[in-house]
């Protein structure tokens, strides 16, 4: 039995033909509708990342490049790969964390990554387990044709790297793929290049059961016809025996009363769920809401007569200040950005009067307490163009153009119940920048891969892309409302944030 190059010439009359294993690759993909969630769409329940075609091929029409300068965007109006340096992104998925890269049929192969908790874990590391994925995770299988596939008895089978890593079924006949309709997808809109493929929806179930993965695991995929066996795919499974723990301190900032009653910000009703079941769980991080407090600035003003609080409560009543139109006394050519200023002032006041400040009077942005402070406020600051700011994380750009993120974030009125805004700003505190921002070539800026703004489903993207440069006009990202994904390399970065996470 052999792998053959097609087309072949016919065998001479009277000579038996030798069946050949046709060339194709198998790829694991996240289903559009999750079988384990009764057909619901993906909402970050597990980590799944793969090298999307549109990131490396000119498939999406990009109108403007506003990565380097949001005020002076560059007109593109052409099909582009969404990652500005797609060759570097390819290397990320080709090499990083992959012990045994493959090249089926001489082609580079970019394995997908799955991140799930282990279940039914016993013994010393039982605390590393979770029931979150005890029913397994279903994934699609995508067969990309190189040769034309036929019903020749070829079987696809799977080999997990560890006993605790289980996949069902253990094998699938090529016949099952052929029972679905063949599809085509574009990988170059300029040349109209397309790939033919088959898609088996929710084809396999994967579970990590009985033990944890001490290092990244993998599920190898083989195609077999007779005695010929070729590796045609892989799934990488993220190490899950080291679970990060992060503390969240929730602070409801009170700046006004109504008929002698505190006006408490009404924030998202399920903070535990959106952190632990829709976002940070992808990076194997468990978030604990350590404390919740009402931080009453009106009461503090009356009790302490503190000048910072008096000035703050006065300024937030000034519409010029709240609309970012007040002149900056340090630079009269500029105005004060109200959201950033409010954030800095609130953090400073909380450090002095808050009930749950770090032990021993350490600053909030100290690296030794592992608390992240989430401040909710009914204030509604806007940018100079009138757009409301949903939230801001604490961070600064150093003289070497590297971002240093702090341990605090403020969510304003328009973001109080917005899952994406809350998780997006919190992820900043865990060292993640925007997907589209360029600061420097320094890797410590955590901006190793840059994408055009507003075109991806990543949590750290924005939910709008630019459609006009003068004036600046935006349209909705097509993934708006469905931006639940972190990239695998973002999982890595979040887990390295020693100021926010302990192990």
Closest CA to 46 of 335, 278, 353: 278
pLDDT in tens, 465-490: 999 888 888 999 999 999 999 999 99
Answer whether residue 450 shows pLDDT above 70: yes
The whole-number average pLDDT for the span 258-263 is: 95
Counting every residue, how long is the chain?
Answer: 503
Percent of all residues in the chain with a pLDDT value above 70, rounded to a whole number:
93
362 vs 238, more confident: 238
Q: What is the pLDDT of residue 445?
A: 53
**Are residues 297 and 253 in contact, defined by beta-carbon separation less than 8 angstroms?**
yes
In this structure, what are the phi and psi dihedrals at residue 498, rounded to the nearest 5 degrees? -65, -25
Answer whether residue 291 shows pLDDT above 70: yes
Q: What is the pLDDT of residue 15?
A: 38
Answer whether residue 444 shows pLDDT above 80: no
What number of other Cβ atoms are within 10 A of residue 325's Cβ?
14
Answer whether residue 309 shows pLDDT above 90: yes
**Are residues 19 and 225 in contact, defined by beta-carbon separation less than 8 angstroms?**
yes
Answer whether residue 441 shows pLDDT above 90: no
Q: What is the pLDDT of residue 5?
A: 56
Q: What is the pLDDT of residue 13?
A: 39
Answer whether residue 14 shows pLDDT above 70: no
Q: What is the pLDDT of residue 4?
A: 59
Helical axes 338-353 vs 307-315, angle rounded to 10°? 150
Closest CA to 66 of 484, 481, 452, 483: 452
Closest CA to 19 of 182, 164, 150: 150
The whole-number average pLDDT for the span 123-129 is: 86
pLDDT in tens, 370-397: 899 999 999 999 999 899 999 999 987 7
The whole-number average pLDDT for the span 78-91 is: 95
- Reported pTM: 0.93
pLDDT in tens, 87-116: 999 999 998 999 899 999 999 999 999 999
Q: What is the pLDDT of residue 69?
A: 65
Report long-range pairs for 400-406 (Cβ below 8 Å, ≥24 apart).
Answer: 400/440, 400/442, 401/439, 401/440, 401/442, 401/445, 402/439, 402/440, 402/442, 402/444, 402/445, 403/433, 403/439, 403/445, 403/446, 403/447, 405/429, 405/430, 405/431, 405/497, 406/347, 406/364, 406/365
Lowest mean pLDDT across 7-11, 27-31, 334-338: 7-11
The whole-number average pLDDT for the span 127-133 is: 92
Strands 165-168 and 193-208 turn out to be antiparallel
Closest CA to 225 of 183, 175, 181: 175
Answer whether residue 10 shows pLDDT above 60: no
Answer whether residue 220 shows pLDDT above 60: yes
Answer whether residue 498 shows pLDDT above 50: yes
d(C-alpha 452, C-alpha 458), whole Å: 12
Lowest mean pLDDT across 20-24, 243-247, 398-402: 398-402
The whole-number average pLDDT for the span 408-432 is: 96
The whole-number average pLDDT for the span 415-421 is: 97
d(C-alpha 371, C-alpha 394), whole Å: 13
Mean per-residue pLDDT over the chain, rounded: 91
Confidence of residue 76 (pLDDT cuts 50, 70, 90): very high
């Amino acid at each position: 039995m052999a792998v053959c190059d097609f087309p072949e010439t016919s065998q001479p009359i009277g000579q038996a033909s030798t069946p050949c294993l046709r060339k194709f690759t198998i790829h694991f993909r996240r289903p559009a509708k999750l079988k384990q969630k009764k057909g619901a769409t993906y909402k970050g329940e597990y980590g799944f990342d793969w090298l999307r075609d549109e990131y490396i091929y000119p498939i999406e029409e990009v109108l403007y490049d506003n990565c380097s300068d949001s005020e002076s965007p560059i007109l593109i109006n052409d099909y582009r790969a969404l990652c500005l340096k797609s060759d570097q992104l390819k290397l990320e998925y080709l090499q990083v964390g992959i012990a045994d890269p493959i090249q089926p049929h001489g082609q580079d192969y970019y394995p997908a990554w799955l991140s799930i908790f282990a279940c039914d874990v016993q013994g010393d590391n039982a605390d590393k387990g979770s029931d979150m994925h005890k029913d397994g995770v279903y994934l699609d299988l995508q067969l990309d044709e190189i040769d034309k596939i036929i019903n020749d008895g070829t079987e696809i089978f799977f080999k997990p790297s560890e006993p605790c890593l289980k996949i069902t079924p253990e094998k699938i006949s090529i016949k099952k793929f052929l029972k679905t309709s063949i599809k085509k997808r574009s990988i170059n809109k300029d040349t109209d290049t397309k790939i033919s493929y088959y898609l088996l929806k929710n084809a396999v179930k994967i579970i990590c059961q009985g033990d944890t993965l001490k290092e990244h695991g993998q599920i190898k995929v083989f195609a077999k016809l007779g005695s010929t066996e070729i590796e045609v795919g892989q799934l990488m499974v993220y190490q899950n025996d080291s679970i990060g723990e992060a503390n969240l301190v929730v602070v409801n900032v009170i700046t006004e009363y109504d008929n002698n009653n505190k006006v408490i910000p009404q924030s998202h009703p399920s903070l535990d769920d959106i952190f632990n079941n829709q976002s940070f769980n992808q990076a194997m991080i468990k978030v604990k809401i350590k404390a919740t407090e009402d931080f009453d600035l009106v009461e503090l003003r009356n009790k302490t007569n503190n000048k910072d609080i008096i000035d703050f409560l006065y300024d937030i009543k000034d519409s010029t200040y709240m609309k970012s139109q007040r002149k900056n006394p340090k630079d009269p050519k500029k105005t004060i950005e109200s959201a950033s200023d409010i954030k800095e002032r609130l953090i400073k006041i909380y450090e002095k009067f808050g009930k749950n400040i770090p032990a021993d009077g350490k600053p909030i942005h100290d690296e030794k307490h592992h608390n992240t402070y989430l401040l909710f406020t009914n204030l509604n600051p806007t940018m100079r163009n009138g757009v409301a700011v949903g939230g801001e994380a604490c961070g600064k750009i150093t003289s070497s153009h590297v971002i240093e993120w702090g341990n605090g974030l403020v969510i304003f009125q328009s973001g109080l119940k917005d899952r994406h805004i809350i998780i997006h700003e919190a992820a900043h505190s865990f060292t993640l920048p925007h997907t589209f921002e360029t600061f420097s070539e320094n890797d410590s800026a955590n901006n190793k891969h840059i994408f055009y703004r507003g075109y991806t489903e990543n949590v750290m993207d924005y939910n709008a892309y630019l459609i006009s440069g003068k004036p600046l006009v935006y349209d909705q990202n097509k993934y708006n409302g469905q931006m639940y994904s972190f990239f695998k390399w973002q999982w890595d970065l979040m887990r390295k944030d020693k100021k926010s996470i302990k192990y």
